[in-house]
C-alpha cells in the first residue's frame, strides 16, 4: 500500500495542485490500463487517486495536429534532456497519453503520486518518453517504469531549476544571474525567481532555491512583502514577478521574485 506523501507544513489558501505528464508510445496501450496500488504506488487513501485523469491521443486521428502540437512542441526539450535519438523516436510516436490532475489546495501530495503511478504503468506497457510539462523536463520511459512504488518524495524529481544571465537594463549596476524554478504549481505554489546572483554564488543559490522549493512542497506559503533569510545570512525580499521586466526568465504562470540586496555581490 502507498500512503499519500504528506505535507508537514501545510497552510490553507494555496492554489490548485496541477500536474501534466505526456507519455509518448510507439504502440497502443491496453484499455483499461492494469494500474495497481501495490505495483505502481497509487495512493490508497485521500483524494489523489480520484483526482488524476488520462486521455489518449492517436496520430492517425489528425496527423498534422499530432505532429505539431503533441510531439513537435517537445522535440527540442527531449533532445536536450535525453538525446537526439530519443527526440527522433518521440517524433515517430503513434500514440500519446496525457495524464493530468487539478486538485484544489491539496493538503497532501497524493495527486502527484497518482499521476506518476499512472505514468509508471504506461511506461511498463510500452511508452518510451514522458514529458513533465510544468517542470519542463523529459524522462526516459524505462526510468519512469523503474520508479519504486515505495519511494519517498523527492522535490528535485518534480521541480527544475534554470539559470540565465540578465541583460544590463533591469540591473544597470552590474551583470548578474537569475535563477528560477519550474514545477511548483504541482503543489499549488507559485514558481520562484531569484534575482541578483553573482556567478560565484550560483551553487549556493541553487541549494537555497531547492530548500525553499522543498518547504513550499511541504505546504508552507510565501507572499509578496515577506522577507526570507538565506544560509549566507542575507535577506531576500519577496515581490510579484513581472515577466515584461525580465523577458529572459521563462516562467509561465504565477511566480514570485526573491530579490537579493543590491550589495550582495
pLDDT of residue 231: 83
As a whole number of Å, the CA-based R_g of the chain is 19
For the four alpha carbons of 9, 46, 183 and 14, in that order, the dihedral sign comes to negative
Confidence tier at 49 by pLDDT (50, 70, 90): confident
Segment 96-108 shows an average pLDDT of 97
CB atoms inside a 10 Å sphere around CB 180: 24
C-alpha cell recorded at residue 120: 509508471
- pTM value is 0.93
d(CA 115, CA 42): 8
Higher-scoring residue by pLDDT: 232, 18: 18
Residue 191 near residue 200 (C-beta atoms within 8 A):
no
79 phi/psi in degrees, rounded to 5: -60, -40
Q: Which residues of 181-219 are buried (b: 16+ CB within 10 A; e: fewer)?
A: bbbbbbbbbbbbbbbbbeeebeeebbebbeebbbbbbbb
**pLDDT computed for residue 177 by the predictor:** 87
Structure confidence by residue, pLDDT tens digits, 115-174: 999 999 999 999 999 999 999 999 999 999 999 999 999 999 999 999 998 765 544 545
Query: pLDDT of 184-224, one tens digit each?
Result: 999 999 999 998 888 888 899 999 999 999 999 999 999 99
Quote the pLDDT of residue 198: 84
Amino acid at each position: 500500500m502507498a500512503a499519500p506523501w504528506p505535507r508537514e507544513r501545510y497552510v490553507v489558501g494555496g492554489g490548485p495542485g496541477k500536474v501534466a505528464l505526456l507519455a509518448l508510445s510507439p504502440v497502443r496501450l491496453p484499455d483499461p490500463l492494469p494500474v495497481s496500488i501495490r505495483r505502481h504506488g497509487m495512493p490508497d487513501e485521500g483524494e489523489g487517486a480520484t483526482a488524476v485523469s488520462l486521455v489518449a491521443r492517436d496520430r492517425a486521428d489528425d496527423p498534422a495536429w499530432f505532429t505539431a502540437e503533441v510531439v513537435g512542441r517537445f522535440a527540442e526539450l527531449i533532445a536536450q534532456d535525453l538525446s537526439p535519438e530519443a527526440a527522433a523516436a518521440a517524433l515517430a510516436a503513434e500514440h500519446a497519453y496525457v495524464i493530468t490532475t487539478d486538485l484544489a489546495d491539496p493538503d497532501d501530495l497524493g495527486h502527484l503520486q497518482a499521476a506518476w503511478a499512472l505514468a509508471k504503468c504506461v511506461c511498463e506497457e510500452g511508452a518510451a518518453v514522458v514529458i513533465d510539462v510544468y517542470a519542463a523536463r523529459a524522462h526516459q520511459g524505462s526510468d519512469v517504469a523503474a520508479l519504486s512504488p515505495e519511494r519517498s518524495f523527492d522535490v528535485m524529481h518534480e521541480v527544475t531549476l534554470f539559470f540565465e544571465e540578465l541583460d544590463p537594463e533591469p540591473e544597470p549596476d552590474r551583470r548578474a544571474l537569475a535563477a528560477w524554478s519550474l514545477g511548483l504549481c504541482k503543489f499549488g505554489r507559485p514558481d520562484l525567481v531569484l534575482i541578483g546572483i553573482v556567478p560565484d554564488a550560483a551553487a549556493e543559490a541553487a541549494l537555497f532555491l531547492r530548500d525553499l522549493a522543498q518547504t513550499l512542497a511541504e505546504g508552507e506559503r510565501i507572499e509578496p512583502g515577506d522577507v526570507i533569510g538565506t544560509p549566507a545570512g542575507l535577506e531576500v525580499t519577496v515581490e510579484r514577478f513581472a515577466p515584461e521586466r525580465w523577458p529572459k526568465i521563462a516562467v509561465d504562470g504565477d511566480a514570485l521574485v526573491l530579490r537579493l540586496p543590491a550589495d550582495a555581490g
